[in-house]
Amino acid sequence: MEEDSKALIELRREFHRLAEPGWMEYRTTEHLIKALQDDRILLHYGKEIYAGERLGLPTKEEKERYSSGLHLAIEKAEEVLEGYTGAIAVVETGKEGPTIGFRFDIDALPLKESTDEDHLPHRLHFESDHLGAMHACGHDGHMAIGIMFTKWLAQHAKQLKGKFIVVFQPAEEGVRGANALVNGKWLEQVDYFFGMHIGMGLASGKICVGTEDILATEKIDAIFTGKSAHAGAHPEEGRNAILAAASAVLGLHSLPQDANGLARINVGKIEGGSGRNIVANHAQLALEIRGSNERVMEDLKAGVKRILEGAAIQYGCHLESSCKGRAEAWYDKDKLFHDQLTIFLQNKGYALSDFSMKGSEDVALFLNRVQEHGGKAMHFMLGSDLKAAHHQEAFDFNEEDLITGLDLFKDLVRFLMTNPIGNK
Amino acid sequence: MEEDSKALIELRREFHRLAEPGWMEYRTTEHLIKALQDDRILLHYGKEIYAGERLGLPTKEEKERYSSGLHLAIEKAEEVLEGYTGAIAVVETGKEGPTIGFRFDIDALPLKESTDEDHLPHRLHFESDHLGAMHACGHDGHMAIGIMFTKWLAQHAKQLKGKFIVVFQPAEEGVRGANALVNGKWLEQVDYFFGMHIGMGLASGKICVGTEDILATEKIDAIFTGKSAHAGAHPEEGRNAILAAASAVLGLHSLPQDANGLARINVGKIEGGSGRNIVANHAQLALEIRGSNERVMEDLKAGVKRILEGAAIQYGCHLESSCKGRAEAWYDKDKLFHDQLTIFLQNKGYALSDFSMKGSEDVALFLNRVQEHGGKAMHFMLGSDLKAAHHQEAFDFNEEDLITGLDLFKDLVRFLMTNPIGNK
Amino acid sequence: MEEDSKALIELRREFHRLAEPGWMEYRTTEHLIKALQDDRILLHYGKEIYAGERLGLPTKEEKERYSSGLHLAIEKAEEVLEGYTGAIAVVETGKEGPTIGFRFDIDALPLKESTDEDHLPHRLHFESDHLGAMHACGHDGHMAIGIMFTKWLAQHAKQLKGKFIVVFQPAEEGVRGANALVNGKWLEQVDYFFGMHIGMGLASGKICVGTEDILATEKIDAIFTGKSAHAGAHPEEGRNAILAAASAVLGLHSLPQDANGLARINVGKIEGGSGRNIVANHAQLALEIRGSNERVMEDLKAGVKRILEGAAIQYGCHLESSCKGRAEAWYDKDKLFHDQLTIFLQNKGYALSDFSMKGSEDVALFLNRVQEHGGKAMHFMLGSDLKAAHHQEAFDFNEEDLITGLDLFKDLVRFLMTNPIGNK
Amino acid sequence: MEEDSKALIELRREFHRLAEPGWMEYRTTEHLIKALQDDRILLHYGKEIYAGERLGLPTKEEKERYSSGLHLAIEKAEEVLEGYTGAIAVVETGKEGPTIGFRFDIDALPLKESTDEDHLPHRLHFESDHLGAMHACGHDGHMAIGIMFTKWLAQHAKQLKGKFIVVFQPAEEGVRGANALVNGKWLEQVDYFFGMHIGMGLASGKICVGTEDILATEKIDAIFTGKSAHAGAHPEEGRNAILAAASAVLGLHSLPQDANGLARINVGKIEGGSGRNIVANHAQLALEIRGSNERVMEDLKAGVKRILEGAAIQYGCHLESSCKGRAEAWYDKDKLFHDQLTIFLQNKGYALSDFSMKGSEDVALFLNRVQEHGGKAMHFMLGSDLKAAHHQEAFDFNEEDLITGLDLFKDLVRFLMTNPIGNK
The per-residue pLDDT for range C12-33, each reduced to its tens digit, is 999 999 999 999 999 999 999 9
CB contact under 8 A, A254 and C259: no
Q: Residue A317: which of A225, A250, A222 has the closest Cα?
A: A225
In DSSP terms, C216 is beta-bridged to: C291
Q: What is the mean pLDDT of residues A63-78?
A: 94
The whole-angstrom distance between C360's CA and the closest CA on chain B is: 8
A contacts of D264 (beta carbons < 8 Å): 231-232, 235
N-terminal to C-terminal alpha carbon distance within chain D: 34
Average pLDDT over residues A337-343: 95
Predicted pLDDT of residue D424: 40
Instruction: Please indicate if any CB of chain A lies within 8 Å of the CB of B253.
Output: no
pLDDT for A374-408, tens place per residue?
A: 999 999 999 999 999 898 899 999 999 999 999 99
**Chain A partners within 8 Å of B259 (Cβ):** 233-236
- Domains assigned to chain C: 2-214+329-418 (3.40.630.10), 216-327 (3.30.70.360)
pLDDT (mean) for B162-189: 93
The beta-strand segments (E) located in D37-142 are: 42-45, 87-92, 99-105
Mean pLDDT of chain C: 95
User: Among residues B115, B114, B103, which one has the least CA distance to residue B139?
Assistant: B103
Residue type for position D23: W
Torsion, Cα D381 D387 D389 D395, to 10 degrees, reads -100
Chain C residue whose CA is closest to D259: C234
For residues B199 and B12, the answer to whether their CB atoms sit within 8 Å is: no
C258 near D CB under 8 A: yes
pLDDT band at B412 (very low <50, low <70, confident <90, very high): very high
Q: Quote the pLDDT of residue B186.
A: 81
Element (H, E) at C2: helix C2-18
Asked if A276 and D283 come within 8 Å (Cβ–Cβ), the reply is no
CA separation for the pair B332, B354 (Å, rounded) = 12
Helices (H), C156-293: 178-181, 241-252
Query: CA angle, corner B163, sides to B160 and B165, nearest 5?
Result: 120
From A250, A264, A358, residue closest to C254, measured CB to CB: A250
Angle between helices C294-314 and D241-252 (to 10 degrees): 30
pLDDT, one tens digit per residue, over A256-308 is 999 999 999 999 999 999 889 999 999 999 999 999 999 999 999 999 999 99
Assess contact for D222 and D260: CB atoms under 8 A.
Answer: no
* Inter-residue contact C14 to C412 (CB < 8 Å): no
Q: How confident is the model at residue C129 (pLDDT cuts 50, 70, 90)?
A: very high
Q: Which residue, among B58, B27, B56, has the nearest Cα to B143 in the 3D structure?
A: B27
Give chain B positions within 8 Å (CB) of C355: none
Is C267 close to B253, i.e. CB distance below 8 A? no
Q: What is the 3-state secondary structure (H, E, C) of A82-136?
A: CCCCCEEEEEECCCCCCEEEEEEECCEECCCCCCCCCCHHHHCCCCCCCCCCECC
**C-alpha C132, offset from chain centre:** 19
Q: Is C391 on the interface with A (CB under 8 A)?
A: no
Instruction: Inspect the interface and report whether the beta carbons of D313 and C306 lie closer than 8 Å.
Output: yes
* Cβ-contact A107, A139 below 8 angstroms: yes
pLDDT value at B345 more than 80 = yes
Q: Does B268 touch chain D (CB under 8 A)?
A: no
Q: Are the CB atoms for C22 and C107 separated by under 8 Å?
A: yes
* Rounded (10°) CA dihedral C108, C114, C117, C121: 10
How far apart CA A150 and CA A7 sit, in angstroms, is 14
Q: Assess contact for D300 and D291: CB atoms under 8 A.
A: yes
Among residues C236, C246, C323, the alpha carbon closest in space to that of C283 is found at C246
Judged by phi (left if over 0) then psi (alpha if -120 to 50, else beta), residue C330 lies in: beta
Mean pLDDT of C77-105: 97
Is the CB of residue C268 less than 8 Å away from at least one CB of chain A? no
**Does the beta-carbon distance from A232 to D278 stay under 8 Å?**
no
- Residues in chain A within 8 Å Cβ distance of C265: 257
Q: Out of B258, B299, B314, whose CB is closest to A307?
A: B314
Residues of A in contact with B234 (CB under 8 A): 259
pLDDT-based confidence at C1, cuts 50/70/90?
A: low
Q: Which residues in chain B have their CB less than 8 angstroms from residue C273's CB?
A: 267-270, 286
At residue A110's C-alpha, the angle toward residues A399 and D111, to 5°, is 160
Mean pLDDT of A172-200: 93
Whether the per-residue pLDDT at D117 is higher than 60: the answer is: yes
**C-beta atoms of B257 and D251 within 8 A:** no
**Which residues does chain A have within 8 Å of residue D249's beta carbon, measured at their own beta carbons?**
242-243, 245-246
**B247 touching C (Cβ < 8 Å):** yes
Chain D neighbors (3+ CB pairs < 8 Å):
A, B, C
Q: How far apart are CA B69 and CA A136, in angstroms?
A: 83
Whether residues D254 and C234 touch (CB distance < 8 A) is answered with no
pLDDT over 70 (residue C333): yes
Neighbours of B397 (CB within 10 A): 24
| Long-range residue pairs from A349-354, CB within 8 A, at least 24 positions apart, any chain | A350/A207, A350/A408, A351/A205, A351/A206, A351/A207, A352/A206, A352/A207, A352/A208, A352/A209, A353/A202, A353/A203, A353/A206, A353/A207, A353/A208, A353/A383, A354/A208, A354/A212
Residues 32-91 of C with CB under 8 A from A: none
Q: How distant is the Cα of B328 from the closest Cα of chain A, in angstroms?
A: 20
Contact A269 D270 (CB under 8 A): no
C chain contacts of residue D240, beta-carbon cutoff 8 Å: 254
Nearest to A84 by CA among A75, A92, A94: A75
B250, closest residue in chain A (CA to CA): A247
- D248 CB-near residues (< 8 Å, 6+ apart): D222, D224, D267, D285, D307, D308, D311
* Cross-chain Cβ contact A358/C250 below 8 Å: no
B46's enclosing H/E stretch is none
Q: What is the pLDDT of residue A424?
A: 40
Residues of B whose CB is below 8 A from D264: 257
Is the predicted pLDDT of residue C423 greater than 80, yes or no?
Answer: no
Asked if residue A143 has pLDDT above 70, the reply is yes
Q: Which of C39, C37, C185 is nearest to C101 (CA)?
A: C185
At residue A421 the predicted structure's pLDDT band, cuts being 50, 70 and 90, is low
Region D310-339 average pLDDT: 96
Chain B nearest-CA residue for A256: B236
> Is a pLDDT exceeding 60 seen at residue D421?
no
Decide if B359 touches A, using CB distance below 8 A: no
pLDDT at D419 exceeding the cut of 80: no
Distances (CA, A) of B331 to D102, D206, D226: 42, 32, 52
Q: What is the pLDDT of residues B178-231, one digit of tens each?
A: 999 998 888 888 999 999 999 999 999 999 999 999 999 999 999 999 999 989
Chain B contact for C231, CB < 8 A? yes
Do residues D200 and D390 make contact, with C-beta atoms less than 8 angstroms apart? yes
Whether B247 sits inside 8 A of C246 (CB atoms) is yes
Helices (H), B269-331: 294-314
How wide is the angle at C-alpha C151 spanned by C-alphas C145 and C153, nearest 5°?
100
Chain C nearest C-alpha distance from B54 (Å)? 19
Question: Percent of chain C scored above 90 by pLDDT?
Answer: 92
Q: How confident is the model at residue D423 (pLDDT cuts 50, 70, 90)?
A: very low
The rounded distance, in Å, linking the Cα atoms of A215 and C16 is 49
Query: Mean pLDDT, to the nearest integer, of D196-212?
Result: 96
Say if B254 is an interface residue toward chain A (CB within 8 Å).
yes
C294 has a pLDDT exceeding 50 = yes
Cβ <8 Å between A269 and D276: yes
CA dihedral B398→B404→B409→B412, nearest 10 degrees, is -140
- Whether B310 sits inside 8 A of A312 (CB atoms) is yes
- CB contact, 8 Å: B265 with chain D? yes
pLDDT of residue B420: 60
DSSP one-letter code for A303: H
CA separation for the pair A139, A61 (Å, rounded): 24
Test mutation, A254, A262, A267, A356, chain C, max C CBs within 10 A: A254
Let me know: does C341 contact C351? Beta carbons within 8 Å: no
User: Distance (Å, rounded) from C-alpha A210 to C-alpha A342?
Assistant: 9
Candidate from B108-117, C133-142, C219-228, D145-154 with smallest mean pLDDT: B108-117
CA distance C172 to C106: 8
Within a 10 A sphere around the Cβ of C246, how many other Cβ atoms?
A: 33
- Would you call C321 an interface residue with chain D, using a CB distance cutoff of 8 Å? no
Distance (Å) from the alpha carbon of C122 to chain A's nearest alpha carbon = 35
State the burial class of residue A376 (Cβ atoms within 10 Å of its Cβ: 0-12, 13-18, 19+): buried
pLDDT score for C365: 96
Interface partners of chain A (CB pairs < 8 Å, 3 or more) are B, C, D
Closest CA to A158 of A42, A40, A44: A40
**Within an 8 Å CB–CB cutoff, is residue D277 touching chain C?**
no
**Nearest by CB to A257, which of C251, C259, C264?**
C264
| pTM, full prediction | 0.92
Min distance B241 CA to chain C CA atoms (Å): 10
Which residues have CB under 8 Å from D69's CB, separation 6+?
none
Q: Is the per-residue pLDDT at B269 higher than 70? A: yes
Distance CA D257, CA B263 (A): 8
A-chain residues within 8 Å CB-CB of B257?
A: 235-236
Instruction: Give the 3-state secondary structure of residue B10.
Output: helix
Predicted-complex ipTM score:
0.89
- Is a pLDDT exceeding 80 seen at residue B424? no
Contact list, B256 vs chain D (CB under 8 Å) = 256-257
Q: Touching check for D185 and chain A: CB below 8 Å?
A: no
CB atoms within 10 A of CB B288: 26
Residues of D in contact with A217 (CB under 8 A): 232
Q: How long a stretch of residues is chain A? A: 424
% of chain B beyond a pLDDT of 70:
98
Give the alpha-carbon dihedral of B341, B344, B349, B351, to 10 degrees: 20
Q: Please choose, from the candidates C88, C100, C90, C97, the residue with its C-alpha nearest in 3D space to the C-alpha of residue C154.
A: C90
Which residues from chain B sit within 8 angstroms of residue A233, using beta carbons?
Answer: 259
- Answer whether C230 touches D (CB < 8 Å): no
